[in-house]
């Protein structure tokens, strides 16, 4: 279903669209609805194996492993949109991320994330009218979208912000403390 009809249908029913309204294609070619991750905090990242930022892949995996038990899921989407940083065929991409790097977070099929043939999820994420905090043109590889437990975009971090940066980690931790529908972080129990 295209983004416009998904968003229009959701708005007509009185609901705002969310990340759960979309699907991604797995490395095995299966379409997986993002409803699978409902209630989780997501970090959606456009990746490329042949770019100056490719060192972030290991940092994304470390972040995923550190916070998985608290509800964080990193979703990596390879894309060849910027500087031809992901030129491989599907089987080469799968071999690189799964076999060579042994990435443990979900890596999806190579997708077009900007321009005329942009996948619906990225049409939604970059739509400045729907998502004032995250909208705008996708500038480069390794742009990171933090999605709250309510499946709504919270923040966007550009390529220059590594996954282990204090500001990204603080934002992830803040979202992990929230329950769906919360507007502020959960209060921490006093240790006294």
State mean pLDDT over 25-43: 96
172 found inside a domain: yes
In this predicted structure, the answer to whether residue 146 has a pLDDT above a threshold of 70 is yes
- CA dihedral sign, ordered 125, 2, 41, 55: negative
**For the segment 44-81, what is each residue's pLDDT rounded down to a tens digit?**
999 999 999 999 999 999 999 999 999 999 999 999 99
113 found inside a domain: yes
182 found inside a domain: no
In sequence order, the β-bridge partners of residue 145 are: 44, 156
37 found inside a domain: yes
As for how many domains the chain has, the answer is 1
DSSP 8-state code for residue 108: B
183 found inside a domain: no
158 found inside a domain: yes
33 found inside a domain: yes
pTM value is 0.87
Least confident of 5-19, 31-45, 73-87: 5-19
Give the H or E element holding residue 24.
Answer: strand 23-25
Q: Which domain holds residue 170?
A: 3-177
DSSP three-state, residue 98: helix
Beta strands 153-157; 41-47: pairing state: unpaired
Q: Count CB-CB contacts under 10 A for residue 2.
A: 9
pLDDT at 3: 43
Residue 48 to residue 114: CA distance in whole angstroms: 14
CATH number at residue 109: 3.40.30.10
What's phi and psi for 54, nearest 5 deg?
-65, -15
Helical spans, DSSP H, in 42-113: 56-67, 90-94
- CA dihedral sign, ordered 106, 112, 114, 116: negative
116 found inside a domain: yes
């Amino acid at each position: 279903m295209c983004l416009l009809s998904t968003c229009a249908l959701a708005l007509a029913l009185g609901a705002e669209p969310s990340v759960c309204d979309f699907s991604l294609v797995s490395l095995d070619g299966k379409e997986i609805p993002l409803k699978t991750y409902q209630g989780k905090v997501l970090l959606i990242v456009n990746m490329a194996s042949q770019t100056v930022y490719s060192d972030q892949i290991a940092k994304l995996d470390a972040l995923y492993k550190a916070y998985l038990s608290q509800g964080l899921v990193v979703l990596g989407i390879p894309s060849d949109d910027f500087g031809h940083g992901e030129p491989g065929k599907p089987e080469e991409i799968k071999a690189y991320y799964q076999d060579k790097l042994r990435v443990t977070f979900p890596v999806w099929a190579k997708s077009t994330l900007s321009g005329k043939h942009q996948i619906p999820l990225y049409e939604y994420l970059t739509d400045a009218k729907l998502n004032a905090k995250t909208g705008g043109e996708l500038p480069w590889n390794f742009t990171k979208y933090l999605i709250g437990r309510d499946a709504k975009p919270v923040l966007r971090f550009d390529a220059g912000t590594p996954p282990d940066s204090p500001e990204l980690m603080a934002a992830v931790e803040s979202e992990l403390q929230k329950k769906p529908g919360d507007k502020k972080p959960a209060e921490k129990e006093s240790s006294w």
